[in-house]
Amino acid sequence: MPVKPLSAFMPLLNWAPGYSRADAQSDLVAALIVTIMLVPQSLAYAMLAGLPPQVGLYASILPLVVYAVMGTSRALAVGPVAVVSLMTAAAVGQVAAPGSAAYLTAAITLAFLSGLVLLAMSLLRLGFLANFLSHPVISGFITASGVLIALSQLKHVLGITVSGDTLPELLTGLFTGIGGANGYTLVIGVAATVFLFWSRTRAKPLLLARGMPPRPADLLAKAAPVAAIVLSILAVVQFGLVERGVKIVGDIPAGLPPFALPSFDLGLWRELLLPAVLISLVGFVESISVAQTLAAKRRQRIVPNQELSALGASNIAAALSGGYPVTGGFARSVVNFDAGAATPLAGAFTAVGLLLATVFLTPLFRFLPQAVLAATIIVAVLSLVDLAAIKRTYAYSKADFAAMAVTILTVLGVGVEAGITAGVTLSLVLFLWRTSRPHMAIVGQVPGTEHFRNIDRHEVITDPAILSIRVDESLYFANARALEDAIYDRIADHPELRNVILMCPAVNAIDASALESLEAIAHRLASAGIGFHLSEVKGPVMDALKTSDFLDHFKGRIFLSQFEAVRTLSTTA
């Protein structure tokens, strides 16, 4: 096995030698814009995860640097994201009380475990496992999570206490507690939410209409959350709103991210292992989807297995710097891309900006209302809610819609981990059900051609002594009996048959169970005086058949094409 070059593990070595001044300027501008966006977002996502606000900043610094060295995407921005923050809260809340030292330790341990899971997946080349998370399941999971996250933040907008992680619990808590809402908090929260929604869609066009150049207009539009933070802090201080019941973030320690170690308690590891696996899979799917989408726009290449390594190392870096699980975020990566990031060094520059904010600016956030951070989260996650996808999936595939609906309902009614587990399980069950009932067609020859098509869809020529049946699925244990039944039913109804040809252009594999079924079919047809033949068998399938003794006692013939098979066997030729 050839030894991979160092650049395969450190993609930095591929682009760094050609790094130019123009690249540096693009990366610095992108880093400035993303930093402005990430400061309030990191604080808010830490609050969503049930952690102190500074932990969100810690989780946004070192992982960005590690990914810049190891990642293959030029635009992916790694850090805390809404869905992973919600999953972290759900997982860690099962083993420790929010606000306790044990809770923070468990979150750090979860990041460390997620990193190990991702590195193990990379080492074993298990990136394909993410394929078990179908798009409808992921879409339903993210939509339901977005609804849960938005509802969970309404308590901060109202200034009330609500407990619970599911839709019934949250709605009950909000309905019960709404009478005790704090008016000042409500005004701040609603105003911030409206302003942030407005700035997302209207601020940049308005600035462009006023004659501002695109780049400054984009920078100011992205700075809207910072403006909301500054104005709300000034309002709290000026009007003494803390004394009027407005809850604030409080003291945020300034300084470098601390060196931290995860817990090595095996009992805690056992409890967090399944959540770590789910977070790793969901995070990888989100990250690789964003990375490949952005890379395609610039004709760049993403290496999924190396992305597993980069994300794994980033999560371990997050744990060692006092953070919690991270992944590539959609919103921040798109902003990074649109801002002109040329290389992953834009992420490293962003990390420097966040580090400076952590060291010098955190005391300024003491009087920041929690309602503003909640508004930041609500605006961010509602963009993830894709109701149109539900309608499209229902119209296209009822089976996929069932998987999506089960995922959504389970997430809302039971919890995030149960929801994605239920969605994946149902997807696999539906896949087995569909492939256990493969589409099979009786085919005939299209007049004047060598093509064969379904007799129920086309005007074709058939020979009553020949049954040409095409199976549109690989043959394996779940559908082997269905093939047997289809052939036996057909020959029972047509005593004039003398040959059966199994047409295999869509058969990519034949497992041991299906091979036994083919032998049984051949034996039963031979005892009835009917020949059994194969046509258009793919090379890899033929290679597999040659490794068995099937061909040694197979009495029929294997034809290169269906046309050749029918021409050879036809009684009318």
Q: What is the pLDDT of residues 31-87, one digit of tens each?
A: 888 888 888 889 999 999 999 999 999 999 999 999 999 998 888 999 999 999 999
Of 5, 9, 3, nearest to 307 by C-alpha is 9
Kindly state the average pLDDT of the residues 10-23.
82
pLDDT 10s digits, 122-151: 999 887 777 777 889 888 988 999 999 999
Kindly state the average pLDDT of the residues 275-295.
89
> Which is more confident, 219 or 214?
214
Kindly state the average pLDDT of the residues 176-195.
94
Whether 505 shows a pLDDT value over 90: the answer reads: yes
* Look-up of token digits 């919103």: 331
| Termini Cα distance of the chain | 54
pLDDT, position 89? 93
Compute CA distances 446 → 452, 558, 563, whole Å.
6, 22, 10
pLDDT, position 358? 93
pLDDT 10s digits, 321-376: 999 999 998 878 888 887 788 888 999 999 999 999 999 988 989 999 999 999 99
Whether 551 shows a pLDDT value over 80: the answer reads: yes
Helices (H) and strands (E) in the chain, counts: 26, 8
Q: Provide the pLDDT confidence category of residue 295 given band limits of 50, 70 and 90.
A: confident
Residue extents of the structural domains in the chain: 23-428, 440-569
Kindly state the average pLDDT of the residues 221-237.
89
pLDDT, position 4? 61
* Look-up of token digits 């999506």: 404
- ∠ CA 23-26-27, rounded to 5°: 85
* Look-up of token digits 């597993």: 308
CATH number of 440-569: 3.30.750.24
In angstroms, the CA 426 to CA 421 distance is: 9
Q: How far is CA 430 from the centre of its chain?
A: 20
The tokens of 173 are what?
A: 């808590």
The tokens of 482 are what?
A: 């269905």
> Which is more confident, 384 or 322?
322
Whether 10 shows a pLDDT value over 80: the answer reads: no
pLDDT, position 529? 92
Q: Write down the pTM of the prediction.
A: 0.83
pLDDT 10s digits, 330-339: 878 888 887 7
Kindly state the average pLDDT of the residues 141-170.
91
pLDDT, position 7? 62
Residues of the chain by 3-state class (helix, strand, coil), percent to 5 = 65, 5, 30
Q: Provide the pLDDT confidence category of residue 16 given band limits of 50, 70 and 90.
A: confident
Percent of the chain with pLDDT over 70: 98
pLDDT, position 3? 53
Average pLDDT, the chain: 90
Kindly state the average pLDDT of the residues 187-202.
92
Provide the sign of the torsion angle of the four alpha carbons 194, 198, 200, 204, taken in this order: negative
pLDDT, position 5? 64
Lowest mean pLDDT among 147-151, 280-284, 332-336, 441-445: 332-336
> Which is more confident, 201 or 523?
523
pLDDT, position 239? 93
Which contiguous run of DSSP H or E holds residue 468? strand 466-471
pLDDT, position 572? 46
pLDDT, position 1? 46
The neighbouring-strand residues paired with 471 are: 440
Kindly state the average pLDDT of the residues 418-445.
89
Lowest mean pLDDT among 53-62, 95-104, 441-450, 489-498: 489-498
> Which is more confident, 276 or 342?
276
Overall size of the chain counted in residues: 573
Q: Letter for the amino acid at 527?
A: S
